[in-house]
Structure formats: C-alpha cells, structure tokens
Chains A and B, each alone.
Chain A
Amino acid sequence: MAKKNEFWQLKLYVAGQTPKSVTALANIQKYCEEHLNGQYKIEIIDLLKNPQLAEGDQILAIPTLVRKVPVPIRKIIGDLSNEEKVLVGLDIKPFKPKT
C-alpha cells in the first residue's frame, strides 16, 4: 500500500478514443482507486490535440502511462491489462505473490 506522505502524479498519453486507450484509462483508474486511496492525480493528454507534448516525455507508444512523481520517471506502455505489472512498474507495490 501507498505510504501516507507520498503522492502519485500520473500522465496518460492517448491518441483519440481508441479502444486501447479507453481500456488503459479504465484500468489505471481502477488500480489507483484500490491502492492509492486518493493520493494521486491522473492527467490525460490527447496527442491528437497536443502533438507537441509527445516530445517532452519521449512518447513513442500509445497508450503510455508516465509516472512523473515520485521520481524516477517510469513509463508503462500498453493497455495496462496486467495489474501486477502495472503496480510493480509504478512502484506502488513490490512484486510478491498474493496471499
């Protein structure tokens, strides 16, 4: 579980309302609700509207989830369907089998 004083700032890069993006958004919202109890913020960036933003965060793949805070920056690409991987990737929870 998240520590009390930590705050997660997440950015989800998408390109229009593709099925993959919609799935990814739904997934990350679900995980955050479950594990970060309100200590998070998800910003959705649509590159079709703001293409110039892709360069700053070195976005290649869509969808990409970027964890800006806490550092270091982590990126997770794909529709985030694997909860375990996302949580480990975001460093929300160390990898260990569920009890």
Chain B
Amino acid sequence: MIKKSEKHRFSSPTVLEKSPSGIAGLDEITEGGLPKGRPTLICGGAGCGKTLFGMQFLVKGITEYNEPGVFMSFEEPTEDLEKNMISLGFDIKKLAAQKKLKIDHVMVERSEIEETGEYDLEGLFIRLGHAIDSIGAKRVVLDTIESLFAGLTNTSILRAELRRLFHWLKHKGVTAIITGERGESSFTRQGLEEYVSDCVILLDFRVIDQISTRRLRIVKYRGSTHGTNEYPFLIDEQGVSVFPITSLRLDHEVSDKIVSTGIKKLDDMFSRGGYFQGSSILISGTAGTAKTTLASYFAQETCQRGGKTLFFAFEESPNQLIRNMSSIGIDLKAYVDKGLLQIHSSRPTLYGLEMHLLTLNKLIKDFKPKSVIIDPISNLVSIGNEREVSSFLVRLIDLLKVNNITALFTSLTQQNINAFNEQTEESISSLVDTWITVRDVEGIGERNRGLFILKARGMGHSNQVREFLIKDEGIDLLELEIGPEGMLTGSARGEFQKTQSVQKLRKQKQVESKDREIERKRKILDANIHAMQTEFESVVEELNKLEIEEQELKKKIPSPLKSKKR
C-alpha cells in the first residue's frame, strides 16, 4: 500500500521519512516531523488547539515546504475558519486563491438525513480525492472526523468506512492529520486511535493555580524514536510553538571573551576582570541592596560597547527605572533612544511561564541582544511552583547560552544572614556561572551594603566582603577595612579610620620630638668637640711657642761642643 513512498526511501532505508510539521519545536521532539505519507492522530479536549495545529501544518507546508494541502472541516464553516486563522496570521483566502489550499466544509445535519438500508461513505472519499487531485495536495487535515458519528447513526458502517478511509489516505501517500475529541477513557471518543496508529499526539490544556498551560505529548510514533515527555506549548499570534525542555543538550559554544561588570572596582575582584561573554550571572540579595543598580551598570556597560541589551523589569515600569537610575548618574534613556536598550516591563502574573519564555525567545530573535537582564527572577516563583520555575530557568539559560548572550539575573532573598538555601537560589545556583551576593551588614545602629562573589566559574575571584556606597555619581566599592573585631562598615569604618589617623599623627609627633632631641644632642656634642678642639689647639700653640723660644735661646748661646771640635 505504501510502495510509492518506499520507492523514495532507498537512499536511507532504515529511516522513516518525515514531513516537517511547520510547528516550531515539534520537529525537534519528533526528530524530523510527522510520518510522511501516513495519518497522524491529534487528540485533546475542547479548545486545546487541535484545529489550529492542523491548519498550521497545512499553511506552513504550503509557505515553507511547497506542499499544497486540503483541509476538510467537519465542524467550522469555511468562512469561520478564514476569520479565525487570519487572527493568527494565516491568510487562508489568499492561499486558496493560489490553488495551494483547499478547504471543504463537510456538513452533517442529522435532521436533514434519513437512513434506510445499506450505504457507504464513497461520497466523502470522492470529495476528498477530488480535492487532493485538483491541487496536487501532499497534506490533508480531517478536522474532527468524529462529528460523523453525531450525524449518522449506523456506527458499524462508519467504523468500517473510517478504517477504509485511513488505509485509502495511506495509499494516496498524503501526510494526514486527523483530529479527535478527547474521550473519557480513551484518547478519542470513538477510539480512533485503533485505526490511526502510526502517530498519536495528545494535546492537553491544564489550569493550575489559575494559570493555564498547554501541554503536548507524543503518545506513540511507530517506527521512530521521539521525546516522551510532556512539552508545554503555546498559541500566540504566530500560531503554535512547542518548547522542548529535555532535548536541549549542553553543547553550546563557549566564549573566552570577558565583558566588564560596568564597575571598575568590581572588575578587579575577578581575576580575569569581568564576566565571561555568554555566561549567566546571578546577583542575589535582600531587599534594597542595589541589585537593580548593579544590573543597570551592566546594561550601561553593554550599551557603551555598542551591544544591545534587553532589560526585563518585573517590578518597575521603564520610566521609573530610567528615573531611578538617572539619580545615580546612569543615563539609560539615552541608550533607549539610540535603540541599544529595550526595557520590557510586565507583571509576572500577566501570563504563564511559557508565555514569558516565548516572549523572551521572540524578543531575542528579533532584537538580537548581547546581554539580557531579568530583574528579578524570584518574582516568577509567584506564578509557578519550584519545579516549573526551575525548568523554565533551565530552558531560559540554555536559550541564552546557545545564542551566546550574557545573562544577568537578580534574585530577592529573604532577610536572613544564612539565606543560601532559599527556593529560587537553590534552583538556579547550579545553573549560573557567576554568583554575586549583596547583603546588609548591620551593626552599631546602621545598615550598610556588603558585596561578595560567591562563585565565578572559570576564573579566580576575591574572597573579600566589600562594602559599597551608592552616591550621586554612582556605586563606589570601598577598600576592605579590618578592625580588631573583623570587617568594618559605615560609621565604624569612619571611627576606625579616625582613630587610626589620630594614632598616626601622634606617632609622627613623637618621631618629630625625638628627632629634635637628637638634633639638640648633636649640637651639644658639636659644641663640646669644638671647645675641646680649641683647647687642644691652644695647648699645641703654647708648645710651639716654647719650642721657638728655646731655639732662639740656643742661637744666643754658642755651642761649646762645636768650638771644641774645630
């Protein structure tokens, strides 16, 4: 029956041929798409996106893979479909006019139909066959064929005919999607999975804690390996997109480039002088410890280098952020105007985590930033449980790493000195490469800010807790000051410095007075030496005088010895 497709398969005989679904992420899970030339069953409850799934498969098939398609709708009339799909960016009318897409609305009205005697569904086959042949369709969607069961009473005929239909579709060599309503105990109400058994995809729409998440699972895929997990998926103005979580591998390229933190003295605390490009950084700390300020510095730094920055503010509006940062000399507005900085503010509860991830994903694709800042990630906990947030962060960080984007997250921790086992931190700490903690250092009636590096993968870092000040001209990291009782901050530091300078002054005075004393002693000594020298000289002079006198005397008295000899 599928000999036709077997002919094409000789190039890779072991691999099942697949048809790209056109649904972002789904091909990754299915390792290539839906089984080519075979029917796939998509089942799920009302409003979980079955029709859209099918329509996207067709539209993308036409626009991206040049495969015309037939959409046989058993539920919605053609006009309704056109209207519904235009809101998702699919211009069905245009495609139909181009003879690429054919929509056939099959209406089964029970009140109009009387059944008597034997019949078959050859009419449906002919209609479908005619539609396929008229545009050379490669893809077919039968949207909720189970509606037939509501219109026709003879289920035994229907079942037999449906079985024949699926065989016939296979024989036609078209890749088909058949949608079915989720049943009580089976995947579909009429047990269609018995007939369409090559590939079954289950869609699910769950609301947990008032936040809805759509999920997709591949129940079965004959002749192919596939992801088995439940994958969240989204429907937005660009259709369906699926996010595989666990298919992400840790094989992204790494960069050896260093980017500055934006603060010179903080750079100095890292042996390489900053963060690695494409790494993820966490700044955690209690309330009011200048996490956002540190993040803004990094944003400024990236923009100064000409890189684009995406700033997600979950707490402040863009204008508020700009105003607050301008108070310490960071002019974010200038970068926003230049188009280097985009600030996106929204409440985390606006939509589910998946939607946040999708928004991010889309913005990253459109904006192509060098750095992404999320301030703060701890707020996301309010819309998901720990595991969900954790999986969200894994995917987010992977997404950023794959794109070699430096990511900076801030995280609010509880007011507790040893708050390293806090929920969000636990889930993110192993994911981030660099972790900076800012915390309050309390004592002698004041609170001061201390900063230290908890970890920095791939480089050495300072072990010091550095106090920092936020002044009008920005952040200033102060040199470490160690007093007799450990690290000193704030006024204690000032006090200590004062004491130290007083001591210094005193010491200097002492030295000076000692110097003067020595000088005096030297002067006395010099005077003594001078006096003694004078005395000595006078003695010598006296002696000389005596000698001269003696010689003169000798001259006056003639020598008797001399005369005698002569």
Contact = CB atoms under 8 A, between A and B. Distances in A.
A67 B480 CA distance: 97
Contacts of B118: 20, 78-79, 81
B116 A86 contact: yes
A32 interface: no
Given A60-B106, A78-B118, A52 B130 contact: yes
Interface string A81-99: 1100110110000000000
B253 interface: no
Contacts of A23: 117
Nearest to B112: A75
Contacts of A26: none
A42 interface: no
Contact of A78 (B109, B117, B127): B117
Given A51-B129, A51-B130, A76 B122 contact: no
A60 to B, nearest CB: 5
B126 interface: yes
A76 B112 CA distance: 8
Interface in B109-148: 109, 112-124, 126-127, 129-130, 148
Nearest to A78: B117
B120 A62 contact: yes
B119 A61 contact: yes
A61 B123 contact: yes
B524 interface: no
B396 interface: no
Interface residues of A, number: 34
Given A48-B126, A64-B123, A82 B106 contact: no
B152 interface: yes
A57 B122 CA distance: 14
A60 B148 contact: yes
B1 interface: no
A75 B123 CA distance: 13
Contacts of A77: 113-116, 119, 152
Dominant secondary structure of chain B at its interface with chain A? mixed
Contacts of A15: 122-123, 126
A8 interface: no
Nearest to A73: B112
A24 B118 CA distance: 10
A47 interface: yes
B104 A55 contact: yes
B126 A63 contact: no
Given A47-B126, A61-B152, A79 B120 contact: no
B112 A47 contact: no
B107 interface: yes
B123 A82 contact: no
A84 B37 CA distance: 45
Contacts of B130: 51-52, 54
Interface string B80-122: 0000000000000000000000001011110011111111111
B115 A59 contact: no
A63 B117 CA distance: 10
A72 B121 CA distance: 23
B123 A62 contact: yes
A33 B152 CA distance: 29
Contact of A62 (B106, B112, B116, B121): B121
Nearest to B127: A54
B122 A47 contact: yes
A91 to B, nearest CB: 10
A27 B33 CA distance: 50
A23 B106 CA distance: 26
A62 B119 contact: yes
A63 B114 CA distance: 12
A58 interface: yes
Contacts of A72: 112
B110 to A, nearest CB: 10
A60 B129 contact: no
Contacts of A64: 119, 123
A61 B112 CA distance: 13
B106 A58 contact: yes
Contacts of A81: 116-118
Interface in B159-205: none
Contacts of A59: 123, 127
A78 B116 contact: yes
Given A60-B106, A61-B152, A54 B123 contact: yes
B451 to A, nearest CB: 73
A30 to B, nearest CB: 14
Contacts of B116: 76-82, 85-86, 89
Given A20-B120, A61-B119, A51 B126 contact: yes
A78 B313 CA distance: 66
Between A54, A61, A74, A86, the greatest number of chain B beta carbons within 10 A of the residue's beta carbon is seen for A61
Contacts of A52: 130
B114 A75 contact: yes
B332 to A, nearest CB: 60
Nearest to A20: B118
Between B107, B114, B124, B152, the greatest number of chain A beta carbons within 10 A of the residue's beta carbon is seen for B114
Contact of B123 (A13, A20, A24, A80): A13
Interface string A6-43: 00000001010010100110000000000000000000
Contacts of A20: 117-120
Contacts of B124: 60-61
Interface in B523-546: none
5 contacts: A54-B126, A64-B119, A74-B114, A81-B117, A88-B114
The 6 closest A-B pairs by CB, nearest first: A89-B114, A51-B130, A78-B117, A79-B117, A62-B122, A81-B117
Given A47-B122, A77-B116, A79-B117, 5 more contacts: A13-B123, A18-B122, A47-B123, A58-B108, A76-B113
Interface of B: 104, 106-109, 112-124, 126-127, 129-130, 148, 152
Interface of A: 13, 15, 18, 20, 23-24, 47-48, 51-52, 54-55, 58-64, 72-82, 85-86, 88-89
